[in-house]
Structure 1
Amino acid sequence: MATPTSPRATGLLDLDVPTWVVAGGSLLVGFGVADLTGVRPLGGVVLFLAALWCGLVWRRARGLPIASGLVLAYLVAFALSHPLGKAISSWPAVLVVSAVVALLAWAVVDRHRAS
């Protein structure tokens, strides 16, 4: 970990935030932003920024193959939330995929970062 006086210590990748919170939460927040504003691309911006940050942190923590797989899982979960939403309604679908993504991020990266 970078020392408080080094330039890297203030970088966004050095934030002590579990990625499972950002990955799972961003799916909820992104959908909420799109739903409340009626501007779907604005929700997409939330998703893009969160996936970018998580992907970079995941790459640093576990390497490019793991990070790529997790970003792919994030994108697949987002895509699957749409047909799932037709079956069980939008918010429940987003809750389900958010929980799956959060659990996956915790299991693959965050539980290893904590130790």
Structure 2
Amino acid sequence: MAATRTPARSRVPAAPIAAAGLVGGYATARFTKKRPLGGVVLAAAGAAAATQWKRAAGGPVAGALTGAYVAAFAGSHPLAKKVGAWPAVCGVAGVVAAASYVLADRRAA
């Protein structure tokens, strides 16, 4: 009987997870008109990204990137008053994704 091999699980980089959490959380809240549901999406993606960050770059970097994720969410609100909601959310998502790539994802690749 031949031994079966399980394929190696591919790791999704944290950058798209974090960006999707920020954009998806906003989109969910906006289109469902249920802000708490958007918060669930935001938190779930943030937790998944934080797990990847810790695996790839360690606790201190994961803590810094998690702080950046939360700051991006908070900072998108006043920024939205100046540039609009979608540009603000997409802008902060891009910044967090870039930071994630530079500080964690690039190391893991």
Q: Is TM-score (shorter-chain normalized) higher than 0.5?
A: yes
Hey, what does 1:99 align to over in structure 2?
94
Hey, what does 2:6 align to over in structure 1?
4
TM-score by length of 1: 0.85
Distance 2:10 2:25 in 1: 21
Deviation per CA, 1:23-70: give whole Å up to 9, x if none: 011111110000000001101001111111111111121111110100
Q: Helix, strand or coil: the match of 2:6?
A: coil
Give % identity.
43
Hey, what does 2:60 align to over in structure 1?
65
Is residue 84 of structure 2 the alignment partner of residue 82 of structure 1?
no
Q: Which amino acid aligns with 1:29?
A: G
**Where in structure 2 are there 5+ consecutive unaligned residues?**
none
Q: Helix, strand or coil: the match of 1:84?
A: helix
Q: In the TM superposition, what is the alpha-carbon distance from 1:15 to its structure 2 partner?
A: 4.8
Distance 1:66 1:4 in 2: 31
Q: In the TM superposition, what is the alpha-carbon distance from 1:4 to its structure 2 partner?
A: 3.3
Distance 1:15 1:31 in 2: 28
Checking the alignment, whether the CA contact within 8 Å between 2:17 and 2:49 is kept in structure 1 is yes
Hey, what does 2:11 align to over in structure 1?
16
- The count of residues paired between Structure 1 and Structure 2 equals 105
**Where in structure 1 are there 5+ consecutive unaligned residues?**
none
Based on CA coordinates, which of the two structures has the bigger radius of gyration? 2
4+ residue runs over 3 A deviation = none
2:46 to 43, 51, 74: 51
Distance 1:82 1:92 in 2: 11
Hey, what does 2:24 align to over in structure 1?
29
Output the aligned Cα RMSD.
1.5
